[in-house]
Amino acid sequence: MNDTSTLKLGHIQGETGIWEMVIGLEIHAQISSKSKLFSGASASFGSEANRNVSLVDAAMPGMLPVINEFCVEQAVKTGLALNAKINNVSVFDRKNYFYADLPQGYQISQFTKPIVGEGEIIVDLDDGEQTTIGIERLHLEQDAGKSLHDQHPTKSYIDLNRTGVALMEIVSKPDIRSPQEAGAYVKKIRSILRYIGACDGNMEEGSLRADCNVSVRKSGEEFGTRCEIKNLNSIRFIIQAIQSEAERQVDILEEGGTIDQETRLFDTSTGETRSMRSKEDAHDYRYFPDPDLLPLEFSESWVQDIKEKLPELPDSLKKRLIKDFGITSYDASILVEEKDYVDFYQQAANGRDGKLTANWMITELFGALKKDNLSFLESPITSENLGELISLISNGTISGKIAKEVFSEMMKSKKSPSEIVKEKGLEQVSDDSEILKLIDQVISDNQDKVNEYLSGKDKLFGFFVGQVMKLSQGKANPGVVNKLLKEKLK
Amino acid sequence: MSELLDLNLVEASKALKNKEISSLELTKAYLKSISDTSSLGAYLEIVEDKAITMAKESDKKLIDGNARPLEGIPVGIKDMFCTKDIKTTASSKILENFIPTYESTVTQNLWNDGAVILGKLSCDEFAMGSSNETAAKGNVINPWLKNKKMSPGGSSGGSAAAVAARSALAATGTDTGGSIRQPAAFCGITGLKPTYGRCSRWGIVAFSSSLDQAGPLTRTVSDAALMLNSMAGYDQKDSTSANLKMPDLMDYLDKGIKGKKIGIPKEYTQNGISEDIVNFYEKSIAWLRDEGAEIIPVSLPHTKYALPAYYIIAPAEASSNLARYDGVRYGARQEASSLDEMYELTRGNGFGDEVKRRIMIGTYVLSSGYYDAYYLKAQKVRRLIKEDFENVYKKVDYILTPSTPTTSFELGKKQDPLTMYLNDIFTVPASLAGLPGISLPVGLDKSGLPIGIQLIANSFDEAGLISTARVLEMSAGFNFIADGAAK
């Protein structure tokens, strides 16, 4: 009776009806800063344990935090890119709790007065639709260290390299309605962060993580009780975790149960979430303004200076690509996903056929990189070389078919296409006399077929074209071959 | 020897520069004095070798004519200041073997100006106390009334006792709610708490970050001026440090107070003050009037809320500041089978009762459901107290009050924490308002114990504070020496 294939994304068909998901995300983005938020220690990833630890990070007696101005600038930049309200006065608070990898016994964060207030972003969905997701706030905070519990049977090891590294927590409004939307939202935030250089967005290294708040309700009802899934470090996991958590909640509710507000973890091996701590076990963080730090204040003109220096952002860039290069909205949204893609595309397509360039980049280049397991930055083909290939196709030097051959050679050898075409003698032959010679040969070799054709078997025309192309090793310009054959076989 | 000990800081400095004495002999005299007065328990750590080395270096500079402002002056350092390679415990068991790898900004400033370190001075544990009785290593004894064991006050009790006992020519202290001024009053010496932000807090073990401020304990007002000249200064490493240049305080010693207006707050003369203190307070008012000041009655209406607000704000900050003493990275760790148990044992054994009491109060007032009623309300009171002072400073230049409601008390006599907290009733308001205050001795009470009078100035007016205090000092002519002082 229920045809699940017509369900909208984010809807779950239950016994009692259709359930809708309500999702809010907290993204923790590590600021691309050489040093930590309140100490001069290096914030670099992958150092030997406890190498990047200053006296402040280790919370030695009498040590004091000093705000890293660069990090403040990145937060303001991000706030502006999220179309959000910048709070010229904000306050750092202490979030108090005991843990072995939290040397101060508190995390410096922003609780009641964050640096950035409400904003919104447009998110592109896979079906080409767009939706707007509200931003609740963005605040600055310190990261904690790392506890390693699997190094010794009875001891835990502590690595404080991450301690004090600057994070921005970007909190969305509960505007998200499907796991896919959540994924697209994270993608968009990551893309914006990379455009402005505030965060490298590297989820594998933990530079970008998300906590997902998930609840379910029947359409039109009040929000249900939510659970928070902590620390998801890939878009795939975010989508899986939300889907599985929402299904778990629906199962409970359908059986007449209630949802306990709690913090949950996503188990990547089972694809399910499990309880981490209940609301009753939740810490009382005893937030209060950090007396070691003055309120963070900056002038409107400083914000304006940052605003003027902001690079073009994906939404406006997308519009411009469609207008300037005549490409489809779909292609444009793929190209603006990453700053590196757009830069590459704009260089390759400059003064050339924009649509053809987009096709070659999205279909051929992205496909080949994926096949070879290479990242975009590892591409053996440069934007100059792809552009040159487009030119060779457009001006008729090579055919589309030959171009594919040249392309795979470019992937292998990193050589320029003209070099490859020259070396292999792949230039398209468009010269009438050259092609006529080939036609003459085909006609003399196939006199019987010529007679058949002339007596009315029109279908054989394709055979002659094929023979000429074959004889030219694919280099003959098919248009010219067609034209001359028709004249010759009149 | 005794002649060397007779010299105050300014006199000793002059004698050193005139090559009448050497830093080595002066330092040795003080090292001997430390040993002669060791029964007072003022010192937790004596660094004789380092003192001798520094004194010799100072003598070289003095001979070469390159003397710095405090060249060759032997000083004691409150154990709240982290000193590189010298044990720094904050008088707590939890830090009993802690040796910093760094030097606090204030002490570094002293060494940069040529001062010589004698050792580390006892204080109340984490500077929490008003009698020095919460120190892990035991009481410090006030050198006054040799026949009785009197409290030196706290928390800078070791610093005050050492200066009064002439086992340090000057000492550093920290003041959160009166911890420099109250012990200075109890020990018959001068104690100056500068404006919040005047001295860097970097490298000082934190008790209550929004209140803690370093300052000198000295024999005279001019000694205090010379010490603070070196201790103060902007420090980028402390975000609450003020980027304001302090004028050379020595230029303000003899400015006088003609035409200056002195405020007498009516809230400071109500009940519970000893008669002798009231008498000397009135005398002090008269002395200042005689020197040409105009005496103006003023009101600081929120004064009565200062102590309750202080005992919410300071413990709240302390509960968070002391969370770092968890046995994980440094300090005494009690081994246990789980992390939580390790915390409980380490902190349970490491902290004394008063520190635990304040951590519990602080944790309570910050807890969800109580934050608004306690912490937030206390912050509002703090703002009102600040406004009280701002209003008064529209009418007057300085405020004169007693430093304490009573003179020193016998050790072990005040067991009730609430009674103990009342010691700070006159010093806490200026702390909450971040204002500079100085306590100086003006006389002795009937039992022969010193009485301190406090002057409070407007923010960053240490110069005016010194001028005024100097006038009061000259008028009072306090020249008694504690009977327990080194001879």
Percent of chain B with pLDDT over 90: 94
Residue holding tokens 């005549």?
A326
- Taking only the tens place, the pLDDT of each residue in A118-143 is 999 999 888 878 899 999 999 999 99
Give catalytic status of residue B367 as yes or no: no
Phi-psi region of B160 (alpha: psi -120 to 50; beta: other; left: phi over 0): alpha
Among A105-119, A253-267, B412-426, B462-476, name the one with the lowest average pLDDT: B412-426
Residues B145 and B196: their CA atoms lie apart, in Å, by 34
Catalytic residue among B78, B193, B260, B414: B78
Rg (CA), chain B: 21
Whether the link from the prior residue into B208 is cis, omega within 30° of 0, is no
Q: Is residue B22 within 8 Å of B237, Cβ to Cβ? A: no
Residue B78 reports pLDDT greater than 80: yes
Domain boundaries, chain A: 13-304, 312-424, 432-488
pLDDT of residue A402: 85
Which residue among A63, A64, A286 places its CB closest to the CB of B363? A286
**What residues have CB less than 8 Å from A191, skipping those under 6 apart?**
A201, A314, A336, A337, A338, A339
**What residues have CB less than 8 Å from A490, skipping those under 6 apart?**
none
Tell me if A61 and B104 make a contact (CB, 8 A cut-off): no
Residues A89 and A215: their CA atoms lie apart, in Å, by 34
Residue B353 reports pLDDT greater than 60: yes
Helices assigned H by DSSP within A310-372: 314-325, 329-335, 339-349, 354-359, 366-371
DSSP E strand boundaries for A154-271: 157-159, 166-172, 208-218, 227-232, 262-267
Give mean pLDDT, residues B430-439: 98
Tokens describing residue A24: 């809010």
Q: Are strands B294-298 and B261-265 parallel, antiparallel or unpaired?
A: parallel
DSSP E strand boundaries for B342-381: none
Which tops the pLDDT comparison, A435 or B120?
A: B120
Among A12-16, A472-476, B234-238, B340-344, name the one with the lowest average pLDDT: A472-476
**Torsion angle in degrees (nearest 10) through CA of B166, B170, B283, B258:** 140
pLDDT of residue A5: 59
Give catalytic status of residue B380 as yes or no: no
pLDDT of residue A469: 86
pLDDT of residue A389: 94
- Specify the 3-state DSSP secondary structure of B298: strand
Tokens describing residue B380: 């509002």
Give catalytic status of residue B155 as yes or no: yes
pLDDT of residue B1: 47
**What residues have CB less than 8 Å from A268, skipping those under 6 apart?**
A237
- Helix H or strand E encompassing A179: helix A179-196
pLDDT of residue B280: 98
Q: How far is CA B205 from CA B92, B105, B155, B331, in A?
A: 11, 12, 13, 13
Tokens describing residue B348: 């349970």
Q: Is residue B179 within 8 Å of B156, Cβ to Cβ? A: yes
Catalytic residue among B23, B155, B222, B284: B155
- Helix H or strand E encompassing A21: strand A17-30
Residues A318 and A330: their CA atoms lie apart, in Å, by 10
- Taking only the tens place, the pLDDT of each residue in B279-334 is 999 999 999 999 999 999 999 999 999 999 999 999 999 999 999 999 999 988 99
Q: Is residue A28 within 8 Å of A37, Cβ to Cβ? A: no
Percent of chain B with pLDDT over 70: 99
Looking at the complex, report in whole angstroms how far the Cα of residue B389 sits from the nearest Cα belonging to chain A. Answer: 21
Q: Within 13 Å of residue A197, how many CA atoms lie on the same side as its CB?
A: 9
Tokens describing residue B468: 């005024």
Tell me if A58 and B329 make a contact (CB, 8 A cut-off): yes
Tell me if A286 and B371 make a contact (CB, 8 A cut-off): yes
Contact A98/B at CB under 8 A: yes
Closest by alpha carbon to A403, among A352, A351, A348, A364?
A: A364
Contact A200/B at CB under 8 A: no
Contact A286/B at CB under 8 A: yes
Tokens describing residue A236: 């795939």
The total of other beta-carbon atoms located within 10 Å of residue B353's CB is 10
What pTM, to 2 d.p., does this model score? 0.90
Predicted-complex ipTM score: 0.96
Catalytic residue among B104, B179, B319, B459: B179
Looking at the complex, report in whole angstroms how far the Cα of residue A279 sits from the nearest Cα belonging to chain B. Answer: 14
Domain boundaries, chain B: 1-487
Q: What is the mean pLDDT of chain B?
A: 96
Q: Is residue A53 within 8 Å of A163, Cβ to Cβ? A: yes
Looking at CATH, the fold of the domain delimited by A432-488 is given as Arc Repressor Mutant, subunit A (1.10.10)
DSSP E strand boundaries for B146-197: 170-175, 190-193
Please list every residue in chain A whose beta carbon sits closer than 8 Å to the beta carbon of residue B323.
96, 98, 104-106
pLDDT tens over chain A, length 490 residues: 445 557 889 999 999 999 999 999 999 999 999 999 999 999 998 899 999 999 999 999 999 999 999 999 999 999 999 999 999 999 999 999 999 999 999 999 999 999 999 999 999 888 878 899 999 999 999 999 999 999 998 889 999 999 999 999 999 999 999 999 999 999 999 999 999 999 999 998 889 999 999 999 998 899 999 999 999 999 999 999 999 999 999 999 999 999 999 999 999 999 999 998 877 777 899 999 999 999 999 999 999 999 999 999 999 999 999 999 999 988 998 999 888 999 999 999 999 999 999 999 999 999 999 999 999 999 999 999 999 999 999 987 888 888 999 999 999 998 999 899 888 877 777 788 888 888 988 998 988 888 888 888 888 888 988 888 888 888 888 888 888 888 888 7
Which CATH homologous superfamily contains domain B1-487? Amidase signature (AS) domain (3.90.1300.10)
Which residue among A64, A105, A287 places its CB closest to the CB of B326? A105
DSSP line for B79-131: TTB-BTTB---TT-GGGTT---SS--HHHHHHHHTT-EEEEEE--SGGG--SS
